[in-house]
Structure 1
Amino acid sequence: MTGETPSRAHIRFDGVGKEYPDGTVAVGNLDLDVAQHELLTLVGPSGSGKSTLLRMVNRLVEPTSGRILVDGEDIADLDAVQLRRGIGYVIQDVGLFPHRTVAQNIATVPGLLGWDRHRTRERVAELLTLVRLEPDVHGPRYPHELSGGQRQRVGVARALATNPSVMLMDEPFGAVDPEGRRALQTEFRRIHDDLGTTVLMVTHDIDEAVLLGDRVAVFSQGGKLEQLATPAHLLARPATSFVDGFIGEARAVKLLAVTELEAQDLDGAAGPGDPHPSVTLGATLETALGVLAAAPDGSVTVTDEAGTAVGRLTPAGLHTALRRAVTANGA
């Protein structure tokens, strides 16, 4: 990135609760720390307070108890409009202005903050490139001229326009078809790794939660935090019967997607020019399983990042890797 310096923040929920006048508890007495650079996914059924919690961070909803601190500062003491301008916000239906071009949409907050035209134009081009849209091609277009996935990419770019320290995402990929959704998930994970913005993402999809999150927070009705854990630990060792049921029966399959292939999982040696299909060390076990399933003789060559063969993976090695993941996470 050649433009704005990456920014990130620490977020602290200190005894935060939200109760509506009719007695409905949306969030109940939550204590939670979100680390700098962390991508925390919030998952749970409808009515578990995920979106309410998210909207309390930018004060679209005010808590009825507790405090929310960003880098030690109580957001209740800040001007709400200025707070929102410093927080990226992406929702499912994107909310692009239909009569403004893609470039004008992305430039919305920079314009409100008084950026000059040159700085704004450079930032728009930089962000379109970041989300893998061509500035000269897509910048002049209007939202209705884009696919759903492209509109969602523009929404992400707009949220990143002023390099916010916090980014809130509420079911950001929910309206995109499955193939496009997986591509967007991969792209956003790459963008987050590059920028390091602190992200809270709401999803109802446990697969998305464990694929994207550095940690996953599972909520039940009334905004009760049932478990907070890394994806691998969550899948290997659900803390409550609610979490176990929410994850479902395919825990081992989900664990494949969040566990990387390591050298200790390999069986035998592979020499130069080995004709077997190959997979890279550090690939997910899900990827390795796909390559292994298509291998004619049930084994694949494993290479390092330079393409040098470092060993061979067999079904026994894959099983060893999965057992390692389960054992390492306390199951």
Structure 2
Amino acid sequence: MPSVDPGAALIRFEDVTKTYADGTVAVGGLELEVREHELLTLVGPSGSGKSTLLRMVNRLVEPTAGRVTLDGQDVMSQDPVLLRRGIGYVIQDVGLFPHRTVAQNIATVPGLLGWDRHRTQDRVRELLQLVGLDPAVHGPRYPHELSGGQRQRVGVARALAANPRVMLMDEPFGAVDPEGRRALQVEFRRIHDELGTTVLLVTHDIDEAILLGDRVAVFSQGGRLEQVDTPVRVLTRPATPFVEHFIGGARVVRLLSLATLTPADLEPGAAAPAATRPVVTLRVGDTLERCFAALATSPDGVVAVEGDDGEPVGALTLAGLHGALRRSASAG
């Protein structure tokens, strides 16, 4: 299921505040909706309340004020154990049970839900294949016999075991080396596009947030939501000085100067007549940096694109630039 067409809000934070006993405000007066099927990345510096916000969805942290609703129901009105069984949860250090095999780890929630042995075995096999691991090879192994990247893949598989509508991910790839991290990012994006699970993913890395998210929520200290928008709009139209400063030195901007525009990144047909927009035309092969600049000055987020012969070949949109950025990052 493509994640580019999210549905109605599945999770709502309604004037949510979390204040700890020492007076620290982790989240203050938050209003935020998470749409069904979307991958929403939560990004910001340490102390900006991202993990606190995430854990309020499955009641590992409870709000001081306001409401968190899941599918219209206040999570505080639900049994926390049953609530958590229906929500996938992936953390940086994975938390696999060390004395259980990979297959047994993945089967944990199905076992708690009373699935029969054959259904559970089929699901374990299916999920290992989904995350790129061989069931016959990796299923009987123990966590200490796996690489860090393989353990993270098993953590994702375990979180998906009972077909949750929602998955919460807290710095899920942070402990993996850079090369392995990029591979996991690409693999998880593929899995999300296939399954359409609603995902909240916490990261401190703006590059990861931009590359993975259908939308990006940028937070500052005290759990203040500075902006929530599509990745390209966050890059091209930062809503506050904080957002502009936070993305200012990001590696993703350097990627824009290296990657180039291809026909596959374009919408068919020509853009609207030049009289309705600034006279800016791109060509196939232009750098994404030039595309970024053109879209930033386009009032409606559409720029005409020509081929080498000067004939129009299509139009570039913000979604097209985001797709080009993902493609380039995946190939890098």
Q: TM-score, normalised by structure 1?
A: 0.79
For the residue of structure 1 that corresponds to 2:26, the secondary structure is: strand
Q: Count matched residues.
A: 279
1:322 aligns with 2:292: yes
* 1:186 match: 186
- Aligned partner of 1:288 in structure 2 is none
CA shift digits 1:220-275 (9 cap, x unpaired): 11100011111000001111111111112358726739x99464xxxxxxxxxxxx
Aligned-residue Cα RMSD (Å) equals: 2.4
SS of residue in 2 equivalent to 1:140: coil
How far apart are the structure 2 equivalents of 1:327 and 1:54? 35
How far is the alpha carbon of 1:71 from its aligned partner?
Answer: 1.1
Q: Taking every aligned residue pair, what percent have the same amino acid on both sides? A: 73
Q: Distance in 2 between matches of 1:54 and 1:252?
A: 25
Shift of 1:118: 0.1
Q: Residue in 2 aligned with 1:282?
A: 265
1:103-142 to structure 2, matched below 5 A, reads: 103-142=103-142
1 CA distance for matches of 2:61 and 2:34? 19
Partner of 1:144: 144
Matched residue of 2:118: which SS? helix
Distance in 1, matches of 2:224 and 2:292, equals 31
Q: Closer, same or farther in 2 for the Cα pair 1:195/1:329, shift >3 Å?
A: farther
Q: Secondary structure at the match of 1:10?
A: strand
Cα gap change, 1:260/1:209 in structure 2, threshold over 3 Å: closer, same or farther? farther
**Residue 31 of structure 1: aligned partner:** 31
Are the counterparts in 2 of residues 9 and 197 from structure 1 also a CA contact under 8 Å?
no
Q: Which moved more, 1:236-245 or 1:139-148?
A: 236-245
CA 1:282–1:61: 2 relative to 1, 3 Å: same
Q: Tell me which residue corresponds to 1:287.
A: none
Residue 12 to residue 329, structure 1, CA distance change in 2 (3 Å): farther
Paired position in structure 2 for 1:196: 196
CA distance in 2 between counterparts of 1:156 and 1:328 reads 39
Q: 1:222-233 maps to which residues of 2 (within 5 A)?
A: 222-233=222-233
Q: 1:233, 1:330 within 8 Å by CA — same for their partners in 2?
A: no
Residue 103 of structure 1 deviates from its aligned partner by 0.1
Pair 17,177 (structure 1): closer, same or farther in 2 beyond 3 Å: same
Taking the aligned partners of 1:207 and 1:229, their CA distance within structure 2 comes to 15
After TM superposition, give the deviation of residue 321 of structure 1 in Å: 2.7
Contact 2:206 2:250 in 1 (8 A): no
Determine if contact 2:41/2:200 at 8 Å carries over to the other structure: yes
The match for 2:94 is: 94
TM-score (norm 2): 0.79
Contact 2:44/2:50, CA 8 A, preserved across alignment:
yes
Quickly say closer, same or farther: Cα 1:113–1:147, change in 2 above 3 A: same
Q: Distance in 2 between matches of 1:145 and 1:172?
A: 19
User: Could you give the per-residue CA deviations for residues 141-172 of structure 1, whole angstroms, max 9, x where no partner exists?
Assistant: 00011100000000000000001011000000
Tell me, in whole angstroms, the C-alpha distance in 2 between the residues paired with 1:329 and 1:126: 46
Report the residue type matching 1:175 in the other structure: A
List runs of 5+ in structure 2 lacking aligned partners: 2-6, 267-282, 302-332
Change in Cα spacing, 1:51 to 1:252, as seen in structure 2 (3 Å) is closer
Structure 1 partner of 2:242? 242
Query: What code does the residue aligned with 2:107 have?
Result: A
Aligned match of 1:49? 49
Q: Deviation digits for residues 266-311 of structure 1, max 9, x if unmatched?
A: xxxxxxxxxxxxxxx239xxxxxxxxxxxxxxxxxxxxxxxxxxxx
Say if 1:318 and 1:241 are closer, same or farther in 2 by CA, change over 3 A: closer
In structure 1, the residue matched to 2:304 is none
Partner amino acid for 1:105?
N
Helix, strand or coil for the counterpart of 1:176?
A: coil
| 1:251/1:227 CA distance change after superposition, 3 Å | farther
Q: Contact 2:11/2:33 (CA < 8 Å) preserved in 1?
A: yes
Q: Does 57-66 or 236-245 show the bigger shift?
A: 236-245
| Deviation per residue, 1:111-162 (Å, 9 max, x gap) | 0111000000000000000000000010000001110000000000000000
Change (3 A) 1:10 1:318: closer
Structure 1's 319 and 185: CA in aligned 2 closer, same or farther, altered over 3 A? closer
CA deviations 1:60-101 (Å, max 9, x no partner) are: 000000111111111111100000000000000000001100
- Aligned to 1:63, what secondary structure does the other structure show? coil
Matched, 1:10 2:10: yes
Secondary structure in structure 2 of the residue aligned to 1:136: helix
